[in-house]
Amino acid sequence: MIHIKNLSKVYKTKKGTVSGVDNVSLTINEGEIFGIVGYSGAGKSSLIRCMNLLEQPTSGEIEVNGLDLTKLSGEKLRKARLKMGMIFQHFHLISQKTVGENIAFALKAANTPGKRINERVEELLEMVSLSDKKDVFPAQLSGGQKQRVGIARALANNPSVLLCDEATSALDPNTTLSILRLLKKINREFNITIVLITHEMNVVKEICDRMAVMQDGKVVEHGEVYDIFSDPQTELTKEFITSVVSFDVPKPILDACTGRILKVLFRGDVAGEGVITDTVQQFNIKGNFLHGSIEYIQERPLGLFLMELKGTDDDIYQAISYMEKRGARVEVIENGI
């Protein structure tokens, strides 16, 4: 669907050149929701703006639906861009135009026949639950409603790809959740591929199928969201995940522990089984829960537990081996967390 090959974007400044995107290669599958995560300055916004040539790449290829956009120009590039809708962090609505007129603007730019424009505007407003806001102006809308207008406008010309640049960063948590659910609904009903730029791991956890983590213009890790949450490979990814799934336990509690402290992770259906209970019952050990939760990522459970085990080294070793045979991933924490 989207193939990014050796993409680089270099900016020229008074102090020299700055690399915004550094030799990035990614494949984004048709119909999936793909998240790109990174802190400010990581290069994620530069990357997404290169995807539809709002930014001209310095080198590399961007293939969308079999077309290399970097080799297109003029009318061919304009037509290709019509199949790539874009949603912005700060909405970018025209304040002097009504909600209906903002959506119609995108249709007029695509030379849609006049009669069809009004019909399509009505369809889109119903899709984003704003049928009663057609004749109001952006200033009369909440942030969430403005973003719904932005989504309707981005969908106006039936794109196959929807690019979202920090689409929820300006919204409160409840509104963010409603927008994410709307995007997921659009993705599932219309099979629209969504690329979502964010610095919030909760956003990725909520709706993304796969993800990439960026740092200093490079992709440092990518894969299935569930796999990355359950087994992050880089310190940066671990830092992002900790913002969503925390193992923070007060130091006085850790200092009071006299046994072996374990971090235990269960993937998939194993997360719902009583593995730890069975372990404590079968072996000559005592267990003390310090922290525990079951997260649901892509509707699959991920069990995360922090516990203290007391017993002989041999008994604890056997208990750990038993949990691992039952599908758990166990990490012994020698000196606290």
CATH number at residue 271: 3.30.70.260
Q: Determine, yes or no, domain membership for 111.
A: yes
Q: Determine, yes or no, domain membership for 155.
A: yes
Same domain? For 53 and 178 the reply is: yes
pLDDT score at 163: 96
Distance (Å, rounded) from C-alpha 155 to C-alpha 79? 15
Q: How far are the Cα atoms of 140, 170, 201, 213, 327 from residue 39, in angstroms, in the given order?
A: 32, 16, 11, 9, 34
Distance (Å, rounded) from C-alpha 46 to C-alpha 60? 14
Same domain? For 95 and 215 the reply is: yes
Same domain? For 173 and 315 the reply is: no
Q: Determine, yes or no, domain membership for 246.
A: no
Q: Alpha carbon 175 to chain centroid distance?
A: 16
Same domain? For 221 and 279 the reply is: no
Q: Determine, yes or no, domain membership for 245.
A: no
Same domain? For 308 and 222 the reply is: no
Which of 210, 236, 262 is the C-terminal boundary of a domain?
A: 236
Residues spanned by the domain of 74 = 2-236
Q: Determine, yes or no, domain membership for 162.
A: yes
Distance (Å, rounded) from C-alpha 64 to C-alpha 33? 15
Helices (H), the chain: 44-51, 74-82, 99-109, 114-127, 143-154, 173-190, 201-207, 225-230, 235-242, 251-256, 275-282, 313-325
Distance (Å, rounded) from C-alpha 332 to C-alpha 265? 12
CATH number at residue 180: 3.40.50.300
Cα torsion for 188, 110, 9, 217, to the nearest 10°?
-20
Q: Determine, yes or no, domain membership for 243.
A: no
User: For residue 80, what are its two tokens?
Assistant: 């290709």
User: For residue 169, what are its two tokens?
Assistant: 């960063």
Distance (Å, rounded) from C-alpha 277 to C-alpha 187? 40
Same domain? For 185 and 263 the reply is: no
Q: From edge to edge, which strands make up the β-sheet containing 286-297?
A: 286-297, 300-310, 260-267, 328-333
User: For residue 321, what are its two tokens?
Assistant: 């081996």
275, 320 Cβ separation under 8 angstroms: no
Which of 236, 262, 293 is the C-terminal boundary of a domain?
A: 236
8, 70 Cβ separation under 8 angstroms: no
By DSSP bridging, strand 218-224 and strand 210-215 are antiparallel
Residue type, 198: T
pLDDT score at 335: 45
pTM above 0.85, yes or no: yes
Same domain? For 219 and 259 the reply is: no
Same domain? For 317 and 182 the reply is: no
Same domain? For 259 and 221 the reply is: no
pLDDT per residue as tens, the chain (337 positions): 899 999 999 998 888 898 999 999 999 999 999 999 999 999 999 999 999 999 999 999 999 988 999 998 888 888 888 899 999 888 899 999 999 999 999 999 888 998 899 999 999 999 999 999 999 999 999 999 999 999 999 999 999 999 999 999 888 999 999 999 999 999 999 999 999 999 999 999 999 999 999 999 999 999 999 999 988 999 999 999 988 877 667 777 777 888 888 888 888 776 656 888 888 888 889 888 888 888 888 888 888 888 899 999 899 999 999 999 988 889 887 644 3
The dihedrals phi and psi of 200, each to the nearest 5 degrees, come to -110, 115
Start-to-end CA span in the chain (Å):
42
Same domain? For 83 and 206 the reply is: yes
60, 8 Cβ separation under 8 angstroms: yes
pLDDT score at 24: 97
Residues with Cβ within 8 Å of residue 31, at least 6 apart in sequence: 1, 187, 191, 192, 193
pLDDT score at 276: 84
Domains in the chain: how many in total?
2
Same domain? For 213 and 311 the reply is: no
The dihedrals phi and psi of 75, each to the nearest 5 degrees, come to -65, -35
Q: Determine, yes or no, domain membership for 242.
A: no
Same domain? For 231 and 296 the reply is: no
pLDDT score at 331: 86
Which of 236, 269, 287 is the C-terminal boundary of a domain?
A: 236
